[in-house]
Amino acid sequence: MRKKVKAITIEKHCDGKVTVLSFARPEVRNALSWRMVTEFKAALNAIDKDNQCRAVVITGAGESFCAGLDLVDQGNRQSLSEAVGELGDGPRAGMRGQEYMAEMILLMRAIQQPIIAAVNGHAYGGGLGIALGCDIRMAAKSAKFCTQFIRLGVSGCDIGVSYTLPKLIGAARAHDMMMTARVIDVELAEQWGLVTYVVEDEQLEQQAIELAVSLCEFSPYGLISTKQGMWSNLDASSLAAAMQLENRNQILNGLGGDVEEAAAAFFEKRKANFDR
Amino acid sequence: MRKKVKAITIEKHCDGKVTVLSFARPEVRNALSWRMVTEFKAALNAIDKDNQCRAVVITGAGESFCAGLDLVDQGNRQSLSEAVGELGDGPRAGMRGQEYMAEMILLMRAIQQPIIAAVNGHAYGGGLGIALGCDIRMAAKSAKFCTQFIRLGVSGCDIGVSYTLPKLIGAARAHDMMMTARVIDVELAEQWGLVTYVVEDEQLEQQAIELAVSLCEFSPYGLISTKQGMWSNLDASSLAAAMQLENRNQILNGLGGDVEEAAAAFFEKRKANFDR
Amino acid sequence: MRKKVKAITIEKHCDGKVTVLSFARPEVRNALSWRMVTEFKAALNAIDKDNQCRAVVITGAGESFCAGLDLVDQGNRQSLSEAVGELGDGPRAGMRGQEYMAEMILLMRAIQQPIIAAVNGHAYGGGLGIALGCDIRMAAKSAKFCTQFIRLGVSGCDIGVSYTLPKLIGAARAHDMMMTARVIDVELAEQWGLVTYVVEDEQLEQQAIELAVSLCEFSPYGLISTKQGMWSNLDASSLAAAMQLENRNQILNGLGGDVEEAAAAFFEKRKANFDR
């Protein structure tokens, strides 16, 4: 029966423009079971195909965002094979499970909508990896952040964190977090740039939704091409190369009348309306 | 007649060692017209050829540094064709205008002198792009920073900002600024590292000039090779590759007697004099 | 006789798991002579071969961490030739000395153990370069940081700093430090992320050793592969490329029973013991 309980819940807001994806295993602090990873990836794929949806909020039911791997389920061979298929032993099997988990972050990056992390309580290990895979991070006062991985007998570099964390907040603090697995409370998280909004716990989901709604006031392709451009250009080989993408993005954005509407709204001192 | 009024003013200080370049359209918050872009690029090219000039300050006349694109002039086809030539329609025309604007930042990077941004009031959109293209940023209490682009129906990645901003202050805060176009006041700008000096408004230009003068006390090629090395090595593929450039820079710096003068000054407890 | 006094001292702690390497020329603020560089590199090579050692602390005897180059010894041709061999004149000779110094940082990066900088007093010039080459930085209240190089008639890009500093704390603050050689006190250093721990001077060495001991509680290969992965992935060309290394690291970590021990310890609510 357990399998029938969804590990992820989806809610629509603002006429379908905003999707709220909640981790729904509060009894285990939303720890990542193989099934939850599968549901999360399926949900992201569905959101990407939903052209009405313009922004996403990810949060955790109960008192945690996501406390990392579910250690009970992690070594359960049946759970794993339901996720990735039966692979027997050998290097291919272990790698496939590892990759299956890490691909969550690649998929978050790939969907067309920006994602706001609404972090309550623990964002540990894989949960931290997911928070860092979001485009913007808002935290409740209860939020706490920890790489955690190295405590589990493995490397502190996991689930994309060795790429995302130093780029997001600088390598000095990132390396300390990865190597010591120290816990960062919300005050330090804001000081270090891990989060750029801090709110009361009881207002977290509402504030995150309001931020998502505010993104929907921008032109749809402006928003999409911002997400794509900002991540793509983190890997640009030079300023000139980054501009090659920026410049073409802007021309594409000018093709559908959005620039004219924005300019008209500016001169008429009204809000632009891109929902034409 | 309008065209005859210069959109940029240039002043020399400290026996020509320091050039102050001011945006001179305070009536429109120094918004970027096509003509202003042309004048700015011409001024930078002239400064680069001026071997007496060792440091540059860029600031804005009136109450703003630069509030971004001049939306009135932006769509004026005659203004554009005076800047980039007549191009007809099609993808080439739009791209050429877009590139013409973005090239400001490449040129700021390319000139031999370091540039100090002295930011008063708005540094929005293209104005933010220019501030980020400077080597050091000083702000007045009135300074406020905003990517702005996404409000205009286009991507938040523009004028090099998707390259410069995450490298300068980390991608977490940069992505928030690019995606939400939130306004960052001077206190937050200092906390986030957008600026590394904050002064009173009435002291801004003088303090920026004094900082520029202090750079002129270093050896001329030491200063030039610092600017070139620090930007070039942002794109270095590894620590070892970065050192290949660093090491050769230092040998070049040792060829003209500057190292001996610096050492002599150190032991004689006097200021080094590289103006021999 | 001078040569017989060691410029570096080595102490073992915690049954040989922690090595404390101290710069031992307090009479010159631990300035880098050619001989000291040679001893430092020899010590790092020896530590790398010591499989009992799992973590390293680097600190400075007396009132400074390391004040940079020893300007007296720097131009001493005999000192240089004892370090790099006799090379005559020409570009090869100068480059070899320059490279010999810079290689310290490559070697710090290459050894298998993480290195904690315990910074007291001056970390200037090459001393800053060494602090930035460490994996984690703890500072005493007396610590102060300065790139210094540009004051010596050369470029502010030296000893790897043009690579390490912008990656560690962001290019905005790094470029200011490199171009102006301003002195950063410990309060600003913590605010900027240059250091992630600040303690009283008299507790510095002990606190750094305790942090090193805490790293020894992690699995040995987990710690090694964290150091290797976090630096290697600073140069990763994309998130997906970074994950290729992360994923394989984790599988390697799973081969020796450490993951099972960590999971067992978690469920038994005890500390994991990887010293089997």
pLDDT digits (tens, 9 = 90+) for B35-66: 999 999 999 999 999 999 999 999 999 999 99
CB contact under 8 A, B193 and C179: no
**Which pLDDT belongs to residue A5?**
65
For residue B162, list chain A residues with Cβ-Cβ distance below 8 A: 229-230, 233, 236, 242, 245-246
Q: Which of residues 222-251 of B touch A (CB under 8 A)?
A: 235
**Which pLDDT belongs to residue B4?**
54
CB contact under 8 A, B173 and A196: yes
**Which pLDDT belongs to residue C1?**
35
**Which pLDDT belongs to residue C74?**
87
Torsion of CA B119, B122, B125, B129, to 10 degrees: 0
Distance of alpha carbon A56 from alpha carbon A44, whole angstroms: 10
All partners of chain C with 3 or more CB pairs under 8 angstroms: A, B
Distance of alpha carbon C272 from alpha carbon A181, whole angstroms: 15
Q: Which of A133, A134, A119, A128 lies closest to A198 in space, CA to CA?
A: A119
Q: B6: Cβ–Cβ under 8 A, 6 or more apart, which residues?
A: B24, B39
SS3 A147: coil
Distance of alpha carbon C45 from alpha carbon C112, whole angstroms: 10
Q: Which of A42, A40, A44 lies closest to A30 in space, CA to CA?
A: A40
For residue B230, list chain C residues with Cβ-Cβ distance below 8 A: 156-157, 162, 166, 171, 174-175, 178-179
CB nearest A263 (choices: B71, B158, B175): B71
Strand boundaries in B85-222, DSSP class E: 115-119, 122-124, 136-140, 144-146, 184-185, 197-199
Rounded to whole angstroms, what are the CA distances from B163 to A146, A167, A232, C53? 28, 12, 10, 41
Distance of alpha carbon C154 from alpha carbon B132, whole angstroms: 25
The conformation of residue A238, written as its DSSP 8-state character, comes to S
* φ and ψ of B261, to 5 deg: -65, -40
- Give one word for A232, left, alpha or beta, with left for phi > 0 and alpha for psi -120 to 50: alpha
Determine the straight-line distance between the first and last CA of chain B, rounded to whole angstroms.
47
Q: B216: Cβ–Cβ under 8 A, 6 or more apart, which residues?
A: B14, B17, B18, B54, B55, B223
* φ and ψ of C206, to 5 deg: -65, -45
H helices present in chain A, as ranges: 34-49, 71-74, 77-84, 91-110, 126-133, 161-169, 171-180, 186-192, 204-215, 220-232, 239-253, 258-267
Say how far residue A272 (Cα) sits from the centre of its chain: 28
The helix or strand, by DSSP H or E, that contains position C137, with its residue range, turns out to be: strand C136-140
Residue indicated by tokens 């000081």: A191
| Residue C156 · residue B226 · CB < 8 Å | yes
ipTM surpassing 0.90, yes or no? yes
* Interface test with chain A among C243, C244, C245, by most A beta carbons within 10 Å: C243
* φ and ψ of A157, to 5 deg: -100, 105
Residue indicated by tokens 């406390």: A67
The conformation of residue C166, written as its DSSP 8-state character, comes to H
A141 touching C (Cβ < 8 Å):
no
**Which pLDDT belongs to residue A92?**
86
Q: Which of C272, C262, C222 lies closest to C246 in space, CA to CA?
A: C222
CB contact under 8 A, C230 and A157: yes
Parallel/antiparallel/unpaired status of strands B136-140 and B184-185: unpaired
Q: Which of C149, C158, C155 lies closest to C98 in space, CA to CA?
A: C158
Q: Confirm or reject CATH 3.90.226.10 for domain B2-215, answering yes or no.
A: yes
SS3 breakdown of chain B: % helix, strand, coil, rounded to 5? 55, 15, 30
The nearest CA of chain C is from the CA of B7 a distance in Å of 28
Torsion of CA B29, B34, B38, B43, to 10 degrees: 0
Between helix B77-84 and helix B91-110 the angle, nearest 10°, is 60
Rounded to whole angstroms, what are the CA distances from C4 to B79, C1, C11, C35? 75, 6, 18, 10
* φ and ψ of A128, to 5 deg: -65, -45
- Domain-wise residue ranges, chain A: 2-215, 220-267
Q: C51: Cβ–Cβ under 8 A, 6 or more apart, which residues?
A: none
Which ranges of chain A have pLDDT less than 50? 1-3
Token pair, residue A230, equals: 């900002």
CB contact under 8 A, B135 and C171: no
CB contact under 8 A, A230 and B74: no
CB contact under 8 A, C171 and B234: yes
| Residue B43 · residue B21 · CB < 8 Å | yes
* Interface test with chain C among A96, A135, A162, by most C beta carbons within 10 Å: A162
For residue C173, list chain B residues with Cβ-Cβ distance below 8 A: 193, 196
Rounded to whole angstroms, what are the CA distances from B215 to A160, A251, B271, C153? 41, 40, 13, 12
User: What is the per-residue burial (b if ≥16 Cβ within 10 Å, else e) of A232-262?
Assistant: bbbbbeebbebbebbbbbbbbbbeeebbebb
Mean pLDDT by 10 residues, chain B (276 residues): 72 97 97 97 98 98 97 90 87 91 98 98 98 98 98 97 98 98 98 98 98 97 98 98 98 93 93 89
The nearest CA of chain B is from the CA of C168 a distance in Å of 10
- Give one word for B168, left, alpha or beta, with left for phi > 0 and alpha for psi -120 to 50: alpha
B153 touching A (Cβ < 8 Å):
yes
Say how far residue A122 (Cα) sits from the centre of its chain: 15
Parallel/antiparallel/unpaired status of strands C8-13 and C18-23: antiparallel
The nearest CA of chain C is from the CA of B145 a distance in Å of 15
CB nearest C251 (choices: A95, A173, A179): A95
B94 touching C (Cβ < 8 Å):
no
Q: Which residues pair with A205 in a beta bridge?
A: none
Compare all CA atoms of chain B with the CA of A224 and give the residue at the minimum distance.
B155
* Interface test with chain C among B168, B191, B218, by most C beta carbons within 10 Å: B218
For residue B114, list chain C residues with Cβ-Cβ distance below 8 A: 179
Q: Which of C136, C20, C228, C199 lies closest to A182 in space, CA to CA?
A: C136
Q: Which residues pair with C262 in a beta bridge?
A: none
Number of C-beta neighbours around residue B209 at 10 A: 20
**Which pLDDT belongs to residue C192?**
98
Token pair, residue A163, equals: 């790429």
The nearest CA of chain A is from the CA of C265 a distance in Å of 9
Between helix C220-232 and helix A161-169 the angle, nearest 10°, is 60
Determine the straight-line distance between the first and last CA of chain C, rounded to whole angstroms.
47
CB contact under 8 A, B254 and C91: no
Q: Which of B157, B115, B113, B110 lies closest to B136 in space, CA to CA?
A: B115
Say how far residue A189 (Cα) sits from the centre of its chain: 17
**Which pLDDT belongs to residue A18?**
98
CB contact under 8 A, A251 and B91: yes
Query: Within 13 A of B26's CA, how many CA atoms are on the CB side?
Result: 10
Per-residue pLDDT of chain C (276 residues; tens, 9 = 90+): 344 569 999 999 999 999 999 999 999 999 999 999 999 999 999 999 999 999 999 999 999 999 999 999 988 889 999 999 988 777 888 899 999 999 999 999 999 999 999 999 999 999 999 999 999 999 999 999 999 999 999 999 999 999 999 999 999 999 999 999 999 999 999 999 999 999 999 999 999 999 999 999 999 999 999 999 999 999 999 999 999 999 999 999 999 899 999 999 999 999 999 987
CB nearest A98 (choices: C226, C247, C260): C247
Tell me, what amino acid is at A9?
Answer: T
Tell me, what amino acid is at A264?
Answer: A
User: What is the per-residue burial (b if ≥16 Cβ within 10 Å, else e) of C93-108?
Assistant: bbbbbbbbbbbbbbbb
The helix or strand, by DSSP H or E, that contains position C180, with its residue range, turns out to be: helix C171-180
